[in-house]
Structure 1
Amino acid sequence: MEGEGTRDPRGTRANPVPRPAGPEERLAAPPRPSTAPGAPPLPDGSAFLAWLRVPRPPAPPGVWRFGYRPRPEAEPERVPGRRLFAGALIAFLVGWLIWSLLWNGYLGGWWLLPLYAMVPDSWAEPHSVGSVVVVYAYYGIVALAILYCVGRLGRWAEIWHRYAPRVRRPPSEGGPPTAPDEDPAAFPALRRAGAVDAAERLATEARSGFLRDVDHARITRAWQGVTGGAHDAATFSAAVERHGAGACPHPSGARDLPRRHARHDMVTGQVRLGTTAEDLRNPHAYRGVGLALGPDELGTSLLAVGPAGAGKTAALVRPLAEALCLQALAGRAAVVVVGAAGAGLGPADAYDVVVRFGHPDSLHDLDLYGGADDPDEAAAVLAEALAGDLADPSPGGDGRRSATVLARLLGPFRAVHDRFPTIPELRRLLDGAPESLAALRESLTATGQEAMLRELDARERQSGRPGDVGPVLAERLALLDRPAFATFFDTSGRTRVFSLRSLEHPVRVRVDLPDRAHPDASRLLARLLLAQFAASVAAREDRSLFACLVLDDAGGAVTPEAVRGIQRLRSAGAGVVLTLRTLDDLPRELRAPLLGSVGCRVALSGLTPWDGQGFAEVWGKEWTEAHDVTDRQIIAESAAGKAAYLVRRAITGKAPTARAVTVRQVERERWSASELAHTLPPGHAVLSLTTVRGEHTPPLLVDLRG
């Protein structure tokens, strides 16, 4: 079941399928499993088999399922340790006292009556073996009964369960042995479907160490296509029997990333980001468990806000980008990672396409029009990039005029040249250059394009009038009409142009923005990529392939139309990951809509109170118990009472008081703006998650360093 280039992204084919953007590793022998975290294989495959057999039970959203042991939903009643040990000691002393009184006969012989009633007369002879055995056995039964009673009274079992795991060696993440019919290393689904030879080949590859976690996920994904009717079972079986672990390859031919930095579980598709804190504000079921994200959570989109140095890139963006690249190699996802050049988003050889704006040695170019063939669609996407952050680019005008102006130029130009204009050509048309408009008119007249002539006439009548948005668009487009971008956005077909329409295939793309040298152009390109992504994923036919855009530092990319597009991504099988240094990077009217449109929200340490207020509002309030404690001084009425209180005050230094506790239900914020700004430790974050099925979590305090 070879790809044969049928899944190649348009414009990115190379000999004959897209290869990794960096230098490709040449392997003379079949590749061995990687030693990356999350898939610890050995040459003999024993570690990989052990990893594959670890149980992954169902868990609440965001819980790392690898070796997960469910915890009770409600927190059991917890007695303070000091009081618990004191009660256990007192119970032991009471039991010892009772036993001493019984043993020494201070309580009489009534407790021996059951013994005399059960012992036969033949055993009543003193100092006989039978009488000694029976008597000491009876003593043991009585002692055990006393020990059981005082143990229950002193809560010895609770002490053992609470403190014994701290002194014992932590259990491994392995689970009980799996039944042969359910052993995932035996590929039972293939055997039940009759593909026994294919299952045997894969099992042999797993035992010999040639099957990786990515291989297992990729072949599982291909088998799901067989069961869904997308592929032929006979072709799948033949490919597996012939190629083994290398069957159903990714178009690039890669079977793993060059390096891994995070811990991944390719069975569940999760990447571990940290550990939830043992904090009273976290639900008991989440305390101390691993926190992980997968496509189920990212399908609702994620927004992370934190200052520079808070860990947005290292703790969130880099692991998520790495996980999505692994999912792409398994045929489950398509990912576009956008960030500043040198931001540490992964090596070039971990991607199929790397677009480096401003670098003449960039191997790939970007389609300015997003692969659109319709002029109106291309105009709408380009207008969002050029003027989306300007809600009203002209006095008294409408923001949608930008798309209309562009469509009246793109349509006639494409009708004549069978392509869209380059940036210099489009800039001259927007500026109303007479020679450019005249040449376009002559070409339309010569080819008899009457409808397009009317479009061009309408544009010329509007040009130069008050409220014309053409000069505004030309000024914005001039940011890309620079010598540094002279080799980019070519529409003649001479360069290797990447289009976001290729997200129908499991492609890995990294886009480096020239944030230092051209900050305004970088913000425009970020808006362009976000607009193209929203338009491309909405037009996909196969939405079973998860598509994700990871945009590091999205301060200049979020517009009103972008927020509306993010809200529609969940139904399109896609999501975005956005990071911001502060919510102040957005217009005030967009902050609440953006927080409401994403399902996963992350507030990192170092947040300002103003940013914290936005998270506090979107997380809402909850009902909780408030304990009001009142100390009332006790007034003695008798002389003896007054004397006793004087002595007590002389000893303790405090007046005798009576404490009254009032418990009432109050509604309070889950996390207040002050708590988010001042109580989060370094390396921690508060986040809430929502899955595509509608499951959600309350805000959780998470240590992103664990």
Structure 2
Amino acid sequence: MDTEGTYDARGARREPVPPPIDRQQPPLPSADSVRDAGGQGAPLWPPSSTGPAGGPAVPPAPMAAPFPAQPPGPPHSAGAPRQHGVPQRPVEVPAPPTTPPPTASGLTPGGLPPVGGQPYLTGPPNVAPAPAAPPVPVGPPGAPPAQHPFLEWLRTSRRLAEPGIWAFGYRPKPPEEPDRVPTRSLVIGALVSGLCAWLLWKLIINATLGSFYMWPFEQFTRDSWYRDKNGRFDAQAYVNMVRIYEYLIGAGIFAVFGKVGHWPELLRRLFAPLLRAMEEHNADPSRPPATPEADPAEWPELRQAGARDAADRLAHDARAGLMNDVDHARITQAWTSARAQPSRLAAFTDTVLRHGAAAWVHPSGARNLPVRIARHDLAVSQVRLGTAADDPRNPYQHRGVGLAVDPGVLGTSLLAVGPPGAGKTARLVGPVVEALCLQALAGQAAVVVVGAAGAGLGPDEAFDVVVKIGRSDSAYDLDLYGGATDADEAGGMLAEALLGDLTLTLPGGESQRASTAIAQLLGPFRAAHGRFPSVPELRELLEGAPSAWLALRKVLEATGQQTHARELDARERQAARPGDIGTVLAERLALLDRPAFAHFFKTDGASRPFSLRALEHPVRVRIDLPERGYAEASRLLARLVLAQFAESAVSRADRSLFACLVLDDASHTVTPEALRALQRLRSANAGAVLTLRTLDDVPQALRSALLGAVGCRMAYAGLTTWDGAHFAEVWGKEWVETRDVTDRQIISDEPLTKVLHFIRRVATGKAATAQSVTVRTVERERWSASELAHAVPPGHAVLSLTSVRGHSAPPVLVNLNG
């Protein structure tokens, strides 16, 4: 039974994808060698008391908590609140055990078969395991052991409501009461009504108002009720009956006055906090559930399916602190795949018994990130961005609740616009990238992050591949053609990168001509040399250098490639015409033919290019662009990565992983073709996160189309009114109820009234007036351009979300520091 290796979300075997390392290090041991060293007859569970090869027992390393321990303070922050312009101090998270399960034999040292003829990930993981430390005591000697934070996190209730609401511990608010009476008025009214009821009752039973109240008692009671067995009058029984009658009258009076004084409403308000506290005490995650079937730490789904041994092993690891939230999400994903195919249940159980919480570990061997700066809930794949402000412009159900994003809303793509220093990178891009990296470790996502070097998008240890374009210490190169083997496909992506920002200014059809011109050179060159040309070679061909054309034609004629020779002849005839597009393409391509990029974009196998075709694997990729001195080249590369990502995400054979592209600065990357690509990502289980300083970085003809192409929009404080006008237009209007109060002067013809009005005017200095209230329902903008520009406080943003299923949330003012 084959249970080793890594499996994807559908249960198919996935090969490891470790990051780079020095080529001199030995390869990873194969699965056969591990089996031979460990023996075939050793029991899988419970763990043996001796180590490998009969050695001493090796205690398991302590597992990191699912998220860093919180200091006393508000529950919305993962540490100290981040101030404006000051990066948040990261919280160190102990690294979990990083020993992956043994890989299958016969693989390359990197463990991953080459993509497009070139391996893009090789070597063992570069995340060094943290040394095991003794557990820190959490209480005084003799005290009961405290519950592990992972169990408390796992047992906390979650309720998925509207898109964007933080589900961790969420409790819906009671229905809104527009005409709610203040508590102070309720208390005064209850006291007054109670006093009146008591006074009226006393006046009645003391016969102060007469003895008429006894008439019903005398009419509806019998004399036999207060006589003894001998028929004599029993005074005590009569007195008792009268008292009962008086108490019934009092009860009726107090009931009527209690209704008038709103006593039930007052009691609900006074006892609601107590009842809520009792509910929270009963739902306290620190208290284990009464039955194992209700305890998620006991894995009841596995027990119901018959995998009791696997459930016992996982429950043991959870109670022992050997499991974190990434492990739980990863094993849950594997269980979902195994449950879809019952034949995999035995393999699932066997793998869990072998590796426990480390089963199906990420190919890099990492089970957590070195640091976390945001709050995550991997049970529902959410990352918290902030808290909805208690503002009347926010919907009632959103006020004061946490707001978060997840792949369900990122699949519609997100656009954030705000001036420099507004917090786009620190409060949006950083948490989203961190969440996607955690989901990649859980085998649920693949993420590609593109930004300027030193933008603070995360440490190198948090990624499998880091491409530092323009730096000599970069371990990886970027595939200029995105792993494509078809000349037309590669030419289309490269033409979009070179001339995408000029599409609106060039004559009609120039973009298609550019794609064809590049393809007419890529096809013959690949047929002649078995590879695509490098940047200098392609530039020479686009410029029409006679030596380059002659050399290529000789190779084609020598190998009998007549079809590609005709393509080259057609390109040569077009190059001779005035205004040929090849000259413009060569000029733009010259931005990449610089000495700083001499060691990049190689196609001869001299470098290790990374291809975006790897999106079928849970990879974590960061691409650093050379912003300083090469701004135009960085924009060209950003357009290239966007085009390659869209093409690779849509053409994936396995779309079980959520693929996301994060562009920290999307200035001059939005083109008509990019907008069409963003709309296609939604159906391919992929999305993009774009940030802009202003909408002026987008061509005017594409600004409204960009806001319509994305489903999630975010406007930061400091937005200009002309940018706010575009957001106000796309967010639309809503029906609201308005009250207009009008003061009109009272004019009277009666002499006495005139005298009273004159005295009032002399005493107060104001004429006698009467107020009239007009209530109307009008249509008004949710957020006007002026409000977005001037009413959004610093550290806040207005966020609207739409899920891939079509559910939408209205724009909400969010406190990003909460």
> Counterparts in 2 of 1:481-630, with a 5 A limit?
481-630=593-742
Structure 1, unaligned stretches of length 5 or more? 18-26
CA distance, structure 2, for counterparts of residue 112 and residue 309 of structure 1: 81
Report what 1:34 is aligned to.
Answer: 65
| 3-state secondary structure, aligned to 1:233 | helix
Q: In the TM superposition, what is the alpha-carbon distance from 1:240 to its structure 2 partner? A: 0.3
**Does 2:298 match 1:196?**
no
Report what 1:49 is aligned to.
Answer: 151
Report what 1:398 is aligned to.
Answer: 510
Query: In structure 1, which of residues 454, 462, 471 is the aligned counterpart of residue 583 of structure 2?
Result: 471
AA at the equivalent of 1:54? T
CA distance, structure 2, for counterparts of residue 514 and residue 479 of structure 1: 12
CA contact 1:2–1:247 (8 Å) conserved in 2: no
AA at the equivalent of 1:232? R
AA at the equivalent of 2:352? V
Report what 1:69 is aligned to.
Answer: 171
Could you say if the C-alpha distance between residues 298 and 111 of structure 1 is closer, same or farther in structure 2, counting changes exceeding 3 Å? Answer: farther
CA contact 1:609–1:676 (8 Å) conserved in 2: yes
AA at the equivalent of 1:7? R
Report what 1:692 is aligned to.
Answer: 804
CA distance, structure 2, for counterparts of residue 436 and residue 378 of structure 1: 20
CA distance, structure 2, for counterparts of residue 649 and residue 166 of structure 1: 49
Could you say if the C-alpha distance between residues 193 and 167 of structure 1 is closer, same or farther in structure 2, counting changes exceeding 3 Å? Answer: closer
CA distance, structure 2, for counterparts of residue 506 and residue 211 of structure 1: 20
Q: In the TM superposition, what is the alpha-carbon distance from 1:469 to its structure 2 partner? A: 1.3
CA distance, structure 2, for counterparts of residue 546 and residue 582 of structure 1: 28
| 3-state secondary structure, aligned to 2:383 | strand
AA at the equivalent of 2:63? R
Report what 1:21 is aligned to.
Answer: none
Could you say if the C-alpha distance between residues 418 and 71 of structure 1 is closer, same or farther in structure 2, counting changes exceeding 3 Å? Answer: same
Could you say if the C-alpha distance between residues 445 and 608 of structure 1 is closer, same or farther in structure 2, counting changes exceeding 3 Å? Answer: same
Report what 1:428 is aligned to.
Answer: 540
Q: In the TM superposition, what is the alpha-carbon distance from 1:169 to its structure 2 partner? A: 9.8
CA contact 1:631–1:658 (8 Å) conserved in 2: yes
CA distance, structure 1, for counterparts of residue 270 and residue 581 of structure 2: 72
> Could you give the per-residue CA deviations for residues 392-418 of structure 1, whole angstroms, max 9, x where no partner exists?
675565211111111011111111111
Q: In the TM superposition, what is the alpha-carbon distance from 1:646 to its structure 2 partner? A: 2.2
Q: In the TM superposition, what is the alpha-carbon distance from 1:280 to its structure 2 partner? A: 2.2
CA distance, structure 2, for counterparts of residue 11 and residue 311 of structure 1: 32
CA contact 2:18–2:363 (8 Å) conserved in 1: no
CA contact 1:397–1:467 (8 Å) conserved in 2: no
| 3-state secondary structure, aligned to 1:692 | coil
Could you say if the C-alpha distance between residues 266 and 594 of structure 1 is closer, same or farther in structure 2, counting changes exceeding 3 Å? Answer: same
CA contact 2:800–2:811 (8 Å) conserved in 1: yes
Out of 577-586 and 493-502, give the one that drifted further: 493-502
Corresponding pairs, count: 695
Report what 2:31 is aligned to.
Answer: none
CA contact 2:449–2:661 (8 Å) conserved in 1: yes
AA at the equivalent of 1:53? R
Out of 311-320 and 279-288, give the one that drifted further: 279-288
Report what 1:7 is aligned to.
Answer: 14
CA distance, structure 2, for counterparts of residue 16 and residue 104 of structure 1: 102
AA at the equivalent of 2:61? P
Report what 2:364 is aligned to.
Answer: 252
CA contact 2:6–2:362 (8 Å) conserved in 1: no
Q: In the TM superposition, what is the alpha-carbon distance from 1:147 to its structure 2 partner? A: 5.2
Report what 1:668 is aligned to.
Answer: 780
Could you say if the C-alpha distance between residues 13 and 663 of structure 1 is closer, same or farther in structure 2, counting changes exceeding 3 Å? Answer: same
> Counterparts in 2 of 1:154-165, with a 5 A limit?
154-159=261-266
| 3-state secondary structure, aligned to 2:14 | coil
Could you say if the C-alpha distance between residues 646 and 612 of structure 1 is closer, same or farther in structure 2, counting changes exceeding 3 Å? Answer: same
CA contact 2:6–2:360 (8 Å) conserved in 1: no
CA contact 2:745–2:769 (8 Å) conserved in 1: yes
Out of 234-243 and 137-146, give the one that drifted further: 137-146
Report what 1:20 is aligned to.
Answer: none
> Could you give the per-residue CA deviations for residues 548-579 of structure 1, whole angstroms, max 9, x where no partner exists?
00111101211110001001101001000011
> Counterparts in 2 of 1:65-214, with a 5 A limit?
65-72=167-174, 75-80=177-182, 83-84=185-186, 86-98=188-200, 101=203, 106-108=208-210, 120=226, 148-159=255-266, 171=280, 174=284, 177=289, 179-214=291-326
Report what 1:288 is aligned to.
Answer: 400
AA at the equivalent of 1:3? G
> Could you give the per-residue CA deviations for residues 132-165 of structure 1, whole angstroms, max 9, x where no partner exists?
9988888777666655544443335545655777
CA distance, structure 2, for counterparts of residue 141 and residue 359 of structure 1: 92
> Could you give the per-residue CA deviations for residues 491-547 of structure 1, whole angstroms, max 9, x where no partner exists?
122322211110101111111112123111111111011101000001101112100
| 3-state secondary structure, aligned to 2:623 | strand
Could you say if the C-alpha distance between residues 266 and 671 of structure 1 is closer, same or farther in structure 2, counting changes exceeding 3 Å? Answer: same
AA at the equivalent of 1:153? V
AA at the equivalent of 2:748? A
CA distance, structure 1, for counterparts of residue 173 and residue 490 of structure 2: 52
CA distance, structure 2, for counterparts of residue 647 and residue 16 of structure 1: 102
Q: In the TM superposition, what is the alpha-carbon distance from 1:8 to its structure 2 partner? A: 4.8
CA contact 1:383–1:403 (8 Å) conserved in 2: yes
> Counterparts in 2 of 1:215-230, with a 5 A limit?
215-229=327-341
CA contact 1:10–1:499 (8 Å) conserved in 2: no
CA distance, structure 2, for counterparts of residue 660 and residue 45 of structure 1: 62
- Across the aligned residues of Structure 1 and Structure 2, the Cα RMSD in angstroms comes to 3.1
AA at the equivalent of 2:553? R
CA distance, structure 1, for counterparts of residue 680 and residue 746 of structure 2: 66
> Counterparts in 2 of 1:221-240, with a 5 A limit?
221-229=333-341, 232-240=344-352
Out of 180-189 and 33-42, give the one that drifted further: 33-42
Report what 2:106 is aligned to.
Answer: none
CA distance, structure 2, for counterparts of residue 65 and residue 104 of structure 1: 61
> Could you give the per-residue CA deviations for residues 584-618 of structure 1, whole angstroms, max 9, x where no partner exists?
11000010111000000111111100000001111
CA distance, structure 1, for counterparts of residue 414 and residue 343 of structure 2: 33
TM-score by length of 2: 0.79
Q: In the TM superposition, what is the alpha-carbon distance from 1:69 to its structure 2 partner? A: 1.2
> Could you give the per-residue CA deviations for residues 468-503 of structure 1, whole angstroms, max 9, x where no partner exists?
111211111111112221221121223222111101
Q: In the TM superposition, what is the alpha-carbon distance from 1:198 to its structure 2 partner? A: 0.6
CA contact 2:310–2:352 (8 Å) conserved in 1: yes
AA at the equivalent of 1:70? P
CA contact 1:393–1:469 (8 Å) conserved in 2: no
Could you say if the C-alpha distance between residues 490 and 157 of structure 1 is closer, same or farther in structure 2, counting changes exceeding 3 Å? Answer: farther
> Could you give the per-residue CA deviations for residues 270-302 of structure 1, whole angstroms, max 9, x where no partner exists?
111111122222222222211111111001110
TM-score by length of 1: 0.91
CA contact 2:66–2:149 (8 Å) conserved in 1: no
Report what 2:813 is aligned to.
Answer: 701
Out of 491-500 and 91-100, give the one that drifted further: 91-100
CA distance, structure 1, for counterparts of residue 392 and residue 268 of structure 2: 20
CA distance, structure 1, for counterparts of residue 254 and residue 629 of structure 2: 78
Out of 275-284 and 634-643, give the one that drifted further: 275-284
> Could you give the per-residue CA deviations for residues 223-274 of structure 1, whole angstroms, max 9, x where no partner exists?
1111233982222111101110000111111111111111111111111111
CA distance, structure 1, for counterparts of residue 353 and residue 18 of structure 2: 32
| 3-state secondary structure, aligned to 1:232 | helix
AA at the equivalent of 1:475? E
CA contact 2:66–2:325 (8 Å) conserved in 1: no
Query: In structure 2, which of residues 441, 466, 474 is the aligned counterpart of residue 329 of structure 1?
Result: 441
CA distance, structure 2, for counterparts of residue 347 and residue 120 of structure 1: 92
Report what 1:407 is aligned to.
Answer: 519
Q: In the TM superposition, what is the alpha-carbon distance from 1:96 to its structure 2 partner? A: 5.0
CA distance, structure 2, for counterparts of residue 495 and residue 141 of structure 1: 96
Could you say if the C-alpha distance between residues 638 and 576 of structure 1 is closer, same or farther in structure 2, counting changes exceeding 3 Å? Answer: same
CA distance, structure 2, for counterparts of residue 446 and residue 560 of structure 1: 42
